[in-house]
A = this chain, B = another copy of it.
Amino acid sequence: MLSNEITSNELATAQTHDGDTISGNISSGNSKSLTALKKTNKKKPLPSVPLKRPAFVVKLWKMVNDPSNDHYISWMAKGDAFQVKDRESFMKYVLPKYFKHNNFASFVRQLNMYGWHKIQDVNSGALVQTDEVWQFENPNFLKGREDLLDNIVRNKPARENEEEEVDFKHLLTQLEQMKRNQMLISEDLKRVRQDNEMLWKENFIARERHKIQSETLDKIMRFLASIYGN
């Protein structure tokens, strides 16, 4: 069925989805968000407006500064850290005065939650430390600098996953979109190819027809020339 009736209408359908749609969906915007998917390491609390001080921070400040607690907990000489001198007594006599528990681990959990870090024991090499050392420091917890307490905030959960989830869904959406696009393009390509093949064949036929016509004309011209001479 090599129809030689190829209408311009048929050719038009072959251009339904144009190339811009393709390149538009795989533009630079994507690769940027993709590299952003790499996990960020940690949170970095940027204190902005001085809000209400957390209860724990206030209690700890009072605890460390109260002279009556000096036997159990007190500032280090440099004033940049505090020390729990005898954990057992501290747990028994001090903790309950400020908190709803006497659990040292819970106390440490709160310290970590608000940015304190334990200071490594200098006797770190010894196998078993006979003298327990519990020192904690926080860049915003300095002797005599109550003002700095405003900078101490509770650590937010790191939740790198949430952003990742979002980006992940985004990725999936894009993939689906690209999939659909490839389908459409692929169909276009198929249709254009069919048109193309048909056109090529029609062209071949036209050329053949032209050749035959030309030969006929040639014969006629030669015939006429032989009759009328020149």
Q: A182-B22, A210-B209, A213-B213 are in contact. Are A14 and B193 (CB under 8 A)?
A: yes
Report the copy number of this chain in the oligomer.
2
Chain B residues, Cβ within 8 Å of A34 = 172, 175
The answer, yes or no, to whether A214 is at the interface (CB within 8 Å) is yes
The 9 closest A-B pairs by CB, nearest first: A206-B206, A199-B199, A22-B186, A213-B213, A26-B179, A22-B182, A19-B186, A192-B192, A189-B189
B88–A101 CB distance below 8 A: no
> Is the Cβ of A196 less than 8 Å from the Cβ of B189?
no
Chain B CB within 8 A of A77 CB: no
Q: Does A190 interact with chain B (Cβ within 8 Å)?
A: yes
- Are A11 and B196 in contact (CB-based, < 8 A)? yes
Bound CA–CA A219/B180 (angstroms): 57
Does the CB pair B179–A182 fall under 8 Å? no
Question: What residues of chain B lie closer than 8 Å to A210, measured between beta carbons?
Answer: 206, 209-210, 213
* Distance in Å: Cβ of A45 to nearest Cβ of chain B: 24
Residues of B within 8 A of A168 (CB): 37
Interface string of A94-127 (1 = CB under 8 A from B): 0010001110010000000000000000000001
Q: CB of A202 within 8 A of chain B?
A: yes
What residue of chain B has the Cβ atom nearest to residue A19's Cβ? B186
Is there a chain B Cβ closer than 8 Å to A188's Cβ?
yes
A3 to chain B, nearest CB (A): 12
Query: Residue on B with the closest CB to A37?
Result: B168
Q: What are 28 of the A-B contact pairs (CB < 8 Å)?
A: A6-B200, A8-B200, A11-B197, A19-B186, A23-B186, A26-B179, A34-B175, A37-B168, A100-B127, A100-B128, A105-B105, A171-B175, A174-B175, A175-B178, A178-B178, A182-B182, A185-B185, A188-B189, A189-B189, A192-B196, A196-B199, A199-B199, A206-B210, A209-B210, A210-B213, A213-B214, A217-B220, A220-B224
The verdict on A193 contacting B88 (CB below 8 Å), with A178-B182, A186-B23 known, is no
Rounded to whole angstroms, the CA-CA distance of A98 and B204 in the bound complex is 95
